[in-house]
Amino acid sequence: MHKRILLTILIALVSFGGFSQVRQKELFKTVEEYHESFVSIDSHADTPLWFLSEDYNFGERHHPEKSSNKIDLPRMEEGGLDAVFLAAFVGQRDRTPENYRNAYDKAHRIIDSIEVVAQRHAKKAALAVNPDDAEKLKAEGKRALYIGMENGFPLGKDLTRVQEFYDRGVRYITLSHTKNNDICDSSTDTVEHGGLSAFGRKVLAEMNRLGIMVDVSHISDDAFYDVIKLTHTPVIASHSNARALRNSPRNLTDDMLKAVAKNGGVVQVCVLSDYVKEMPRNPERDSAMSALRKKFRNFKNLTAEEEAQARHQWQTINKDYPPNIAHVTDLVDHIDHIVKVAGIDHVGIGTDFDGGGALKGVYDASELKNITAELIRRGYSREEIAKIWGGNFFRVFEAVVDYAEKVKEAS
Ligand SMILES: [Zn+2]
């Protein structure tokens, strides 16, 4: 600890002493070396939403201001990002037979699109399903593309679909999204099941049995504690922050952070500004957004065409009235806090890029190394940063796979 304080003071002195440019250069050289030495992973990106449109090319560098797309292969490379969990995200709709069918079809369609992208860019990337795939692919100079399912809605009420999606490569499931489903309550909806439903308990057990990570981001506090009580494996929060620093139901309280630590799990901090820090509002933006919401009926039950229109208009508003967004240092405050409360072994990074994630200094994947630079500035060691950038996440992933193997052997 003393060493860390000393280093921080030293860096502060040096940067105020007129040597800042030299120091900055050295710092970024260290950042480069660090990223070479470990396997980094972003546990949550909604980039597959882009894969569904035909003119999108994952192998092409997109301009951060001209395109609202945040991740592509060139920018992963620039940002020193080796692996990413791509979300097969399906928004929650009313639980009608038709919507169940559509959600199930859409999840398959997104997974199809991820497979197509991986094949199209086979020289630079590949699909990954095992914890050690990322490391192997890095050695071959390739980026690892994992699949996570955001929202268990596509499972409907059919337990056999857990295995079905496992067989398609899904390695975590975020149990709910912003609304309740048949599995559990959402952190941003009213109480329906009071936590996990009876079906949700079965889904959890099935995920444990198969080796699918349980993602507690988005689920209600009661559902979180049910999961912690019932799971046989460590959990992940694929994109959530600390509620003590930003009071949002999407973030974890200190008690929850401690519960994750006790469970052996990991909380992956998210660069979505609203979960990082409360920022001053932009009234022009707010009224444009509420008009958009009104026009598209709160984004509920939209046709595919309407959804595309809404997304396009949302991007235009973003361009015309950019939101006030928090800074990368605010994000690292969350890492500091989680380290303090839960320990260095229980924190990682899950950006939510292409799902709303963007901060000053981490606006897209090309700028991810700024997180590393800020961690170094605050005195974190290479070993600690390696844990944050993936060591902790892969430890959980391995534990989940190990448990499934043991269950299989015993049966
Ligand atoms: Zn999300």
Ligand 1: centre distance to CA 6 (Å): 38
The residue-averaged pLDDT of 46-62 equals 93
Ligand 1: centre distance to CA 11 (Å): 36
pLDDT band at 140 (very low <50, low <70, confident <90, very high): very high
**Cβ(374)–Cβ(367) below 8 Å:** no
The residue-averaged pLDDT of 186-206 equals 98
**Cβ(147)–Cβ(171) below 8 Å:** yes
- pLDDT in the model for residue 21: 79
The residue-averaged pLDDT of 38-65 equals 94
pTM of the model: 0.90
Ligand 1: centre distance to CA 177 (Å): 7
Kindly tell me if the per-residue pLDDT of 217 is higher than 90: yes
Q: Give the tokens for residue 57.
A: 């090319």
- pLDDT in the model for residue 19: 52
- Is residue 27 included in any domain, yes or no? no
Q: How many domains does the chain have?
A: 2
**Cβ(325)–Cβ(358) below 8 Å:** yes
Ligand 1: centre distance to CA 203 (Å): 20
- Is residue 209 included in any domain, yes or no? yes
Ligand 1: centre distance to CA 22 (Å): 39
- Is residue 365 included in any domain, yes or no? yes
Q: Using H for helix, E for strand and C for coil, what is the string for the chain? A: CHHHHHHHHHHHHHHHCCCHHHHHHHHHHHHHHHHHHCCCEEEEECCHHHHCCCCCCCCCCCCCCCCCCCCCHHHHHHCCCCEEEEEEECCCCCCCHHHHHHHHHHHHHHHHHHHHHHHHCCCCEEECCCCCHHHHHHHCCCEEEEEEEECCHHHCCCCHHHHHHHHCCEEEEECCCCCCCCCECECCCCCCCCCECHHHHHHHHHHHHHCCEEECCCECHHHHHHHHHHCCCCCEECCCCECCCCCCCCCECHHHHHHHHHHCCEEEECCEHHHHCCCCCCHHHHHHHHHHHHHCHHHCCCCHHHHHHHHHHHHHHHHHCCCCCCEHHHHHHHHHHHHHHHCHHHEEECCCECCCEEEECECCHHHCHHHHHHHHHCCCCHHHHHHHHHHHHHHHHHHHHHHHHHHHHHC
The per-residue pLDDT for range 68-107, each reduced to its tens digit, is 899 999 999 999 999 999 999 999 999 999 999 999 999 9
Ligand 1: centre distance to CA 251 (Å): 11
- Is residue 7 included in any domain, yes or no? no
- pLDDT in the model for residue 308: 86
Q: Which long-range contacts (CB under 8 A, 24 or more apart) does 14-23 make?
A: none
Burial 66-86 (b: 16+ CB within 10 A, else e): eebbbbbbbbbbbbbbbbbbb
Same domain membership, residue 284 and residue 261: no
- pLDDT in the model for residue 302: 85
Kindly tell me if the per-residue pLDDT of 2 is higher than 60: no
Ligand 1: centre distance to CA 24 (Å): 34
Ligand 1: centre distance to CA 273 (Å): 13
CA nearest 68: which of 273, 312, 286? 312
Which residue range forms the structural domain that includes residue 314? 280-324
Ligand 1: centre distance to CA 176 (Å): 9
CA nearest 358: which of 276, 271, 248? 271
Q: Percent of the chain having pLDDT more than 70?
A: 95
- Is residue 12 included in any domain, yes or no? no
Furthest CA-CA distance within the chain: 67
Same domain membership, residue 367 and residue 317: no
Kindly tell me if the per-residue pLDDT of 1 is higher than 50: no
Same domain membership, residue 269 and residue 250: yes
- Is residue 19 included in any domain, yes or no? no
Same domain membership, residue 376 and residue 307: no
- Is residue 292 included in any domain, yes or no? yes
Ligand 1: centre distance to CA 378 (Å): 28
pLDDT band at 411 (very low <50, low <70, confident <90, very high): confident
Same domain membership, residue 311 and residue 187: no
Same domain membership, residue 222 and residue 99: yes
pLDDT band at 15 (very low <50, low <70, confident <90, very high): very low
Q: What's the mean per-residue pLDDT of the chain?
A: 93
Same domain membership, residue 293 and residue 180: no
Same domain membership, residue 306 and residue 203: no
Ligand 1: centre distance to CA 17 (Å): 43
pLDDT band at 382 (very low <50, low <70, confident <90, very high): very high
- pLDDT in the model for residue 332: 98
pLDDT band at 311 (very low <50, low <70, confident <90, very high): confident
- pLDDT in the model for residue 370: 97
Same domain membership, residue 303 and residue 331: no
Ranking 238-242, 251-255, 296-300, 353-357 by mean pLDDT, the lowest is 296-300
Ligand 1: centre distance to CA 29 (Å): 33
- pLDDT in the model for residue 17: 44
**Maximum mean pLDDT: which of 272-281, 306-315, 336-345:** 336-345
Same domain membership, residue 172 and residue 104: yes
Ranking 7-11, 217-221, 371-375 by mean pLDDT, the lowest is 7-11
Residue that terminates a domain, selected from 324, 354, 388: 324
Whole-angstrom Cα distance, residue 361 to residue 329? 9
Residue that terminates a domain, selected from 324, 339, 359: 324
Ligand 1: centre distance to CA 39 (Å): 23
Ligand 1: centre distance to CA 218 (Å): 7
* Residue 338: CATH number of its domain: 3.20.20.140
* Beta bridge partner(s), residue 42: 84
Kindly tell me if the per-residue pLDDT of 334 is higher than 90: yes
The per-residue pLDDT for range 347-373, each reduced to its tens digit, is 999 999 999 999 999 999 999 999 999
The residue-averaged pLDDT of 123-145 equals 98
- Is residue 152 included in any domain, yes or no? yes
The residue-averaged pLDDT of 96-120 equals 97
Kindly tell me if the per-residue pLDDT of 152 is higher than 70: yes
Ligand 1: centre distance to CA 100 (Å): 20
Q: Are strands 236-237 and 266-269 parallel, antiparallel or unpaired?
A: parallel
Same domain membership, residue 372 and residue 352: yes
Same domain membership, residue 395 and residue 267: yes
The residue-averaged pLDDT of 365-383 equals 97
